[in-house]
Chains A and B, each alone.
Chain A
């Protein structure tokens, strides 16, 4: 077995171990606390644990299927996220073709460019070509009612759901000396650090949370949860240096940036939800929100992580 393969196996066993422990704890909490009726916090925790199982299994299957599997998985995530986003924004009849081309032209082209490893065009296709194309298509119908608002919302939908999300599989295109054939572990590193940071912020917040960070954005985010979550996720990220091309210190630093961006991304996405007057982005996973609710922190950290690694480590 190759070094990459054995590291992946070690990692998978570790993750399965964590999930089994989490499921066992969730089960015990349910037995102990739910004696007098269901407990909302525990039910929510168990729902999240089931969502992580699904996430780990899906990503695992995609890794086994290789590059095409990873691309298809994230292309689907982009599709479902874009559908959730555009459902919530203001659109008019005149935007019909602009929206259709966002789904059926821009999204597939972006992922095709990743498949073809065309970094030069991949990195500007949406912010240059798609951003200019969208208002052009919309304006052809001559409807100027709230035009700037409509254009801006569709552009942001593409930015968040397609451009940012596609930077997770884009990690596969990096060419890092001494790290050949192991890029898939970079995706694992990013996803693990982001998700652990979310979870640990939640856990620290539940245990010690007193001071709210942004009460009118997200009532569950506290200073204690934020500090504890970021610090512990950074430490775990540093401890995962062996699956990355980084030294432990570098892995820790990058984890710190990832968790910070993840936290701020969560705030921004909450602000959008508040603005649209909804609690969740959708209902993809029955009972606990939409896909964007699970992706929001990955969305903001992925492009930054990608470009930092590309700038300092990659030859391509």
Chain B
């Protein structure tokens, strides 16, 4: 019963996201990797992973899990239902003090089980004027353990205008989700260089902002 409700709720989220944003996916020429991979995206709205999830082809969508902060998604029963049951999120504790499980180990086991991940390496929602915050190191530690993993940069455009922080009514605006070519960590690449390379690859997908004052 719960699984059925979760399934219906997932379909409703996707339908609603599409009705508001008429979201359009832009794929890389070679398409998406066939094997489990990590989609890493810019983060400016609570709806970010729903949008990525909505545009993925259904066969890939069903085994793609967002990585999200446990403290938010376990805050209430509703949040927990949406996070855990509807989107099957990999919930990680961001506060080191409260950690009972290692976030990297959680992600590695999800990937090993055949899932793809949606990851927001900025670690938190970007509320600044900068296009992209510095990356946290989680994505590096993940590929440090699984260097064969494909990393797909994903730029989500316009969703921050649809529903800025603190607003409850979304404004219908057209959003695009641009997928880049898959990347991998180079042998011997150090943390700073790797994170900077990933960040540059993601920024390269960002279109010139139409309507946001250039």
Residues of A with Cβ closer than 8 Å to B? 79-80, 82-84, 86-91, 93, 96-97, 99-100, 103-104, 146, 276-278, 282-284
Contact = CB atoms under 8 A, between A and B. Distances in A.
Nearest to B172: A83
B172 A103 contact: yes
B169 A100 contact: yes
A91 B211 contact: yes
A90 B22 contact: no
B164 A89 contact: no
Nearest to A79: B172
B26 to A, nearest CB: 10
Given A87-B210, A277-B210, A103 B171 contact: yes
A283 B173 contact: no
Contact of B212 (A84, A90, A103, A283): A90
A104 B171 CA distance: 9
Given A96-B164, A284-B22, A90 B213 contact: yes
A272 B167 CA distance: 29
A90 B171 contact: no
A162 to B, nearest CB: 13
Contact of A86 (B22, B24, B173, B213): B173
A276 B210 contact: yes
Given A79-B172, A96-B164, A103-B172, A282 B210 contact: no
B63 interface: no
Nearest to A100: B169
Interface string B190-214: 0000000000000000001011110
Contact of A87 (B169, B211, B213): B211
Interface in B135-157: none
A100 B210 contact: no
Contact of A276 (B158, B174, B211): B211
Nearest to A98: B171
B18 interface: no
B212 A87 contact: no
A97 B168 CA distance: 10
Given A87-B174, A96-B167, A103-B171, A80 B210 contact: no
A132 B175 CA distance: 29
Given A90-B211, A93-B164, A104 B169 contact: yes
A282 B173 contact: no
A146 B210 CA distance: 16
A84 B212 CA distance: 14
A146 B167 CA distance: 22
A87 B24 contact: no
A91 B167 CA distance: 15
Nearest to A82: B172
B94 interface: no
B161 interface: yes
Contacts of A96: 164, 167, 169, 171
Given A83-B22, A97-B169, A276-B210, 12 more contacts: A79-B172, A86-B172, A87-B158, A89-B211, A90-B213, A96-B164, A96-B169, A100-B170, A104-B169, A146-B213, A276-B211, A284-B22
